[in-house]
Amino acid sequence: MQFTFNGIRKKYITVLSHLQRPVLPSISYTTTERVEAGERVTGMKMDSIILDVPVVIYHRDKTMQELKLELSSWLYSEDEQKLVFSDTPSQFYLARFLSVELEEYEHFSKGIIQFLCPTPYQYAGEIVVPITEQQRDIHVVGQVPVFWTLHARIDTRTSQFEIRNQHGEKLILQHQFLENDVIEIDAGKRAIYLNRDARMSLLSFESRWFPLRPGVNILSVSAPSTITYQNIYF
């Protein structure tokens, strides 16, 4: 097995078979004391995870110092980068390099490369779903509710654009829209754009932001649109 980090795979690095990835990240609970006994759970969050990646590094054509310089340039980053293991090529972690410990031998090194995953999920590639009719089923096969982006082009003059789901949650934009106006919504950032200009004032007070939930989501829109999202797994 091998891995890709920061868009780069080093062919001379092999991941050993005892790589372990958690079934679930650990969970931290916020509690308050009960008067009668015990505690009451008032909140929870999933903790970040640390991945210990056991590796063998073969370097017959490099000195150890050359190897260290190359590894440091590759692994260091000031923000999260995609970490992809070759046994699950369609999924990735968002990770930062944490540390490396190597036992050095003449032509190879063996040890652990540690990565910190601040968000403890595995992400899949983006899925783009066109909604050309008024209603469309969207099947989220991941395990975590996900936010989405929308791109819509107004096909006729109207004073309102709406997207809603089967639970009655909806976003309503009110404006004198013209034909070919372009609406963009980023539910994760809670941002709305009209013809590329930020226009949060279009959002009506009746609106409620909502994610796509695991399973079937039935969405209806008032103009032809495309929805983009990612499946996310533990």
Q: Where exactly are the structural domains of the chain?
A: 3-120, 124-233
* Residue 112: HSE in the Cβ half-sphere, 13 Å Cα cutoff: 10
Share the mean pLDDT of the chain.
Answer: 94
Within a 10 A sphere around the Cβ of 31, how many other Cβ atoms? 12
Instruction: Read off the pLDDT of residues 149-191 as tens digits, 9 standing for 90 and up.
Output: 999 999 999 999 999 999 999 999 999 999 999 999 999 999 9
- Span 75-89, mean pLDDT? 95
Topology classification of domain 124-233: Jelly Rolls (2.60.120)
For residue 49, the model assigns a pLDDT of 96
- CA dihedral for 25, 234, 215, 163, sign (positive or negative): positive
For residue 17, the model assigns a pLDDT of 86
Q: What is the DSSP letter of 202?
A: G
Topology classification of domain 3-120: Elongation Factor Tu (Ef-tu); domain 3 (2.40.30)
- CA dihedral for 74, 76, 82, 85, sign (positive or negative): positive
- Span 41-66, mean pLDDT? 91
- Span 120-127, mean pLDDT? 94
For residue 47, the model assigns a pLDDT of 94
Cα separation of the two ends of the chain: 21
The CA radius of gyration of the chain, in Å to the nearest whole number, is 24
Q: How far apart are CA 112 and CA 131, in angstroms?
A: 47
Kindly state the tokens that stand for 93.
Answer: 């972690």
Q: How far apart are CA 211 and CA 233, in angstroms?
A: 15
Whole-number percent of the chain with pLDDT over 70: 100
Cβ atoms of 24 and 234 within 8 Å: the answer is yes
For residue 73, the model assigns a pLDDT of 94
Q: How far apart are CA 225 and CA 79, in angstroms?
A: 32
For residue 135, the model assigns a pLDDT of 84
Confidence of residue 107 (pLDDT cuts 50, 70, 90): confident
Whole-number percent of the chain with pLDDT over 90: 84
